[in-house]
Amino acid sequence: MIENGSVRSVCPYCATGCGLVVEVRNGHVRSVRGDKHHPSNFGSLCRKGALLDEVLDTPDRLLYPQVRDSLDQPFRRVTWDEAIAFAASRFKASIERGGPDSVAFYGSGQLLTEDYYLFGKLAKGYIGTNNQDTNSRLCMTSASAAYGMAFGVDGPPCTYEDIDAADTFLILGANIEACHPVLFKRIEQRKRGNRNVRVIVVDPRRTPTAAIADIHLAVRPGTDVALLNSMLAEIVIAGLVDEAFIDAHTEGWGETLAAAKRYTAERVARGIGVDAEDIRRAALAYARAGAALSLWTMGANQSTAGVDKNLALINLALATGNIGRPGAGPFSLTGQPNAMGGREAGGLAHTLPGHRSVANPEHRREMEEFWGVPEETISAKPGLTAVEMFDAIGKRQVTAVWIAATNPVASMPNADAVAGALRTADVVVVQDAYHPTETTQLAHVLLPAAQWSEHAGTMTNAERRVCVLEQATAAPGEAQPDWQIFCRFAEAMGHGEAFAYQNVEAIFEEFKQTTAGRDLDMTGMSYELLRASGGLQWPLPTGRRGGTKRLYADGIFPTSSGRARFNAVEYRPAAEPIDADFPFILTTGRVKDQWHTRTRTGKVKKLVAGDPEPFIEISPFDARDLGIEQGKLVEVASRRSAVRLRARVTDTMRPGVLFVPFHWSRLWSTETDVNRIVSGAFDPISKEPELKYTAVSIHRV
Ligand code: SF4
């Protein structure tokens, strides 16, 4: 923390993890610029990052703790001790009545790794419930599960430098131009600098990302597994599989081959809505590339077939030997700035620190020993994942919930049910930097949290790079760093000794020991080394110099056989397919200048200017058919509810598909909150909800 000068930090929006230089004048952040020396962005920033100074001193900053006994009462200002005591007494009452699983903790990919670690240590190691999940469940758990199934452990094998060496990009379900703009610039540069580079984009919308594609496959939403199997079938037919790699480094090829063969381009083309010849062109461009890099995000992950889509992408990479070498690999781009840190620190309902699993008795014992808690303190019962958690609150199976750094009433699918569930809870504690948000409005306890430049800690970006965010300025009012709030609460719950940290670095030093000898070993990292390098990629065990750019370069995978696993996958329709009553497919997403639920970017005039209000995109064909005119209001209804939005008629949409950005929630207007109509169905393995496919009807108002 400084009064005047500059400090290095990391952007708190997307998982690109751009390094920042923060200029401070008289104790306030005056400006932000890209850090030229940062190994992930080399000085580049998008507009969201460049305007970060404008999200700090807003009139809705939450400045001091507040409580109320019930939702019909106004909040009253209290001291920190009173607020924490209030929360602790209600959590204790819930636990006394219903046991540890009657409470739950819901975090965020915005939390720093140290915050995540403490949140989980308290919930799983001391309170004894695995009901700790995060909004990252909505983001990348499908990718995390698929990596585990294919490689034995979680973690993207690639590095951003692979973008500079790839010959063919297969971008699926990812509008990188809007959602990871700095990485998109790097892809454009690679394409501009080499005439032979090919870009294949799979997206039902003709997004700005698809605009640079050599082959744009505008598939019907939800059909990616059929497409990817079909590409594999065509690669086999063309004799382009890498048999030497398959023989030496993989297992399970036979079943995958048998499954894929049923998906020839001719067979699937009509069903998925693209030409067979285009599928073949894409398959050959991928397989003939010297190095092919697949990149994907929510279009693959947020689906009831999310894990299968990820596995199908990994199958393609394995079949063509596109892994472990420059420019090649299956690269899942995480969405949030520290979704990776949450995976590392055990921030999900099924995980423990150091990529351990709550389902594994040995992992539970290791963590009990590490934390010095009695045997069987960590429950063997799987915790509630995001959608399950809010369902359980609505059913009063969970009566006390702690929500940190996220706004689930706005971001969760089936939002009316989520809001209704919180209204029934005995206590809702919300730890946030702003009030009101859609979620703080339903809280009993409001705890003011520090923002990105007001606290220190580490985050891991999409290329496994761990970076330190320095504290630039003091937090306003009585706001505190998240880790300190968790420590206060832990003390009030009777576990003060185990949470008596002098500073955030001490938490990192403890956390990194949980990674010793594991796939993500970080024991060779320290704040000092991370600061000096601008960030290091795991694994980095003690004694080694420099991080690990690329995983599996030696062709050895951390499975029991040392081989990567093919996983045969089959196309499954969406959980709630279209029918005569709901004949359109609604897909949700983002716009370039807004971030999630707009608690920050919604206050920056320059970011709001491009898209000042919510809208729905519809194809000219459908608009004509339904008499819908540009800019006019339409009503969109699903099996849950209906919303009203202004129509944007655009030929970037394929007929039968509608698109709504999810940023504008009920604080803007209940009538436009698209998550009210989105289905809460989720993938059976990853439990990631199907935010990219909802059957709806649409008509003009
Ligand atoms: S690309 Fe992502 S990390 Fe970089 S400045 Fe933009 S939002 Fe921040």
Residues 319-356 have pLDDT tens digits of 999 999 999 999 999 999 999 999 999 999 999 999 99
Confidence of residue 600 (pLDDT cuts 50, 70, 90): very high
Let me know: does 581 contact 633? Beta carbons within 8 Å: no
The residue length of the chain stands at 701
Q: What is the CATH number of the domain that holds 282?
A: 3.40.228.10
Measured CA to CA, the distance from residue 421 to residue 387 in angstroms comes to: 11
Is 298 assigned a catalytic role?
yes
Which of 269, 299, 326 is the last residue in one of the domains?
Answer: 326
Show the domain range for 607: 584-700
Does the pLDDT of residue 544 top 90, yes or no?
Answer: yes
- State the virtual CA torsion across 90, 93, 97, 102 in degrees, nearest 10: 40
Out of 49, 155, 327, 335, the active site residue is 335
Out of 140, 389, 467, 525, the active site residue is 140
Residue type, 508: F
Mean pLDDT of 382-391: 97
Q: Are residues 318 and 456 in the same domain?
A: no
Measured CA to CA, the distance from residue 181 to residue 184 in angstroms comes to: 5
Ligand 1 pocket test, pick from 38, 46, 177 with the greatest ligand atom count within 8 Å of Cβ, gives: 46
Q: Are residues 172 and 252 in the same domain?
A: yes
Is 48 assigned a catalytic role?
yes
Residue type, 76: R
Let me know: does 447 contact 430? Beta carbons within 8 Å: yes
Domain membership flag for residue 671: yes
Cα distances from 5 to residues 21, 473, 532, 582, in angstroms, run: 10, 11, 18, 57
3-state secondary structure of 476: coil
13 lines ligand 1 (CB under 6 A): yes
Out of 14, 18, 46, 139, the active site residue is 139
Measured CA to CA, the distance from residue 425 to residue 428 in angstroms comes to: 7
Domain membership flag for residue 356: yes
Let me know: does 493 contact 85? Beta carbons within 8 Å: no
Which of 518, 553, 573 is the last residue in one of the domains?
Answer: 518
Domain membership flag for residue 378: yes
18 lines ligand 1 (CB under 6 A): yes
Tell me how far the alpha carbon of residue 329 is from its chain's centroid. Answer: 20
49 lines ligand 1 (CB under 6 A): yes
Q: Dump pLDDT digits (tens) for 191-208.
A: 998 999 999 999 999 999
Ligand 1 atom 6, closest CA: 46
Does the pLDDT of residue 464 top 90, yes or no?
Answer: yes
Ligand 1 pocket test, pick from 11, 32, 179 with the greatest ligand atom count within 8 Å of Cβ, gives: 11
Is 302 assigned a catalytic role?
no
Measured CA to CA, the distance from residue 340 to residue 249 in angstroms comes to: 26
- Closest ligand 1 atom to 47 CA: 6
Let me know: does 134 contact 335? Beta carbons within 8 Å: no
Q: Are residues 43 and 173 in the same domain?
A: no
Tell me how far the alpha carbon of residue 172 is from its chain's centroid. Answer: 16
Q: Are residues 119 and 195 in the same domain?
A: no
Which residues fall within 8 angstroms of residue 336, CB to CB, at 6 or more apart?
Answer: 14, 15, 108, 109, 110, 135, 136, 139
Cα distances from 194 to residues 171, 188, 191, in angstroms, run: 18, 10, 5
* Six token digits for residue 37: 């020396």
Q: What is the CATH number of the domain that holds 691?
A: 2.40.40.20
Out of 11, 18, 298, 459, the active site residue is 298
Instruction: Report how far ligand 1's centroid is from the alpha carbon of 683 (Å).
Output: 28
Mean pLDDT of 248-268: 97
Domain membership flag for residue 404: yes
Does the pLDDT of residue 500 top 90, yes or no?
Answer: yes
Instruction: Report how far ligand 1's centroid is from the alpha carbon of 337 (Å).
Output: 9
Q: What is the CA radius of gyration of the chain?
A: 24
In the prediction, which pLDDT does 270 show?
97
Domain membership flag for residue 16: yes
Instruction: Report how far ligand 1's centroid is from the alpha carbon of 92 (Å).
Output: 40
Please, which residues bridge with residue 589 across strands? 661
Nearest 5°: the CA angle 579, 583, 585 is: 110
Which has the closest alpha carbon to 664: 614, 595, 616? 614
Q: Are residues 272 and 398 in the same domain?
A: no
Q: Are residues 440 and 314 in the same domain?
A: no
- Closest ligand 1 atom to 49 CA: 5
Tell me how far the alpha carbon of residue 551 is from its chain's centroid. Answer: 21
Q: What is the CATH number of the domain that holds 381?
A: 3.40.50.740
Q: Dump pLDDT digits (tens) for 80-104.
A: 999 999 999 999 999 999 999 999 9
Which has the closest alpha carbon to 470: 53, 6, 141? 6
- DSSP H helical segments within 22-79, as ranges? 47-50
Instruction: Report how far ligand 1's centroid is from the alpha carbon of 183 (Å).
Output: 9
182 lines ligand 1 (CB under 6 A): yes
181 lines ligand 1 (CB under 6 A): yes
Q: Output the DSSP codes for 294-307.
A: EEE-HHHHSSTTHH
Measured CA to CA, the distance from residue 238 to residue 226 in angstroms comes to: 18
302 lines ligand 1 (CB under 6 A): no
* Six token digits for residue 10: 């990391």
Q: Dump pLDDT digits (tens) for 466-492.
A: 999 999 999 999 999 999 999 999 999
Domain membership flag for residue 636: yes
Let me know: does 616 contact 672? Beta carbons within 8 Å: no
Ligand 1 atom 2, closest CA: 14
Does the pLDDT of residue 639 top 90, yes or no?
Answer: yes
Q: Are residues 113 and 169 in the same domain?
A: no
Is 336 assigned a catalytic role?
yes
The pTM is what? 0.97
Which has the closest alpha carbon to 331: 133, 547, 168, 111? 168
Ligand 1 atom 4, closest CA: 18
Q: Provide, rounded to the nearest whole percent, the portion of the chain with pLDDT above 90.
A: 99
Instruction: Report how far ligand 1's centroid is from the alpha carbon of 179 (Å).
Output: 8
Instruction: Report how far ligand 1's centroid is from the alpha carbon of 49 (Å).
Output: 5
In the prediction, which pLDDT does 1 show?
87
Mean of the per-residue pLDDT values of the chain = 97
* Six token digits for residue 430: 């919300």
Mean pLDDT of 164-181: 98
Edge-first strand listing for the sheet containing 465-469: 457-460, 465-469, 536-537
333 lines ligand 1 (CB under 6 A): no
11 lines ligand 1 (CB under 6 A): yes
Nearest 5°: the CA angle 124, 129, 131 is: 100
Domain total of the chain: 4
Domain membership flag for residue 135: no
- Closest ligand 1 atom to 41 CA: 4
- Closest ligand 1 atom to 14 CA: 2
Phi, psi angle pair for 665, to nearest 5°: -110, -155
Q: Are residues 223 and 295 in the same domain?
A: yes
Q: Are residues 360 and 382 in the same domain?
A: yes
Q: Are residues 373 and 483 in the same domain?
A: yes
9 lines ligand 1 (CB under 6 A): no
Mean pLDDT of 548-571: 98
- Closest ligand 1 atom to 10 CA: 3
Instruction: Report how far ligand 1's centroid is from the alpha carbon of 473 (Å).
Output: 21
Q: Would you give the DSSP letter of residue 413?
A: S
Domain membership flag for residue 524: no
Instruction: Report how far ligand 1's centroid is from the alpha carbon of 260 (Å).
Output: 37
Q: What is the CATH number of the domain that holds 43?
A: 3.30.200.210
Which of 472, 495, 518 is the last residue in one of the domains?
Answer: 518
Q: Are residues 50 and 75 in the same domain?
A: no
Does the pLDDT of residue 123 top 90, yes or no?
Answer: yes
Which has the closest alpha carbon to 17: 134, 110, 108? 110
Q: Are residues 322 and 387 in the same domain?
A: no
Instruction: Report how far ligand 1's centroid is from the alpha carbon of 48 (Å).
Output: 7
The structure tokens 């390098």 sit at: 533
Three-state SS for 155-200 is CCCCCHHHHHCCCEEEEECCCHHHHCHHHHHHHHHHHHCCCCCEEE
Instruction: Report how far ligand 1's centroid is from the alpha carbon of 90 (Å).
Output: 39
Mean pLDDT of 363-392: 97
Confidence of residue 668 (pLDDT cuts 50, 70, 90): very high
Out of 19, 48, 148, 342, the active site residue is 48
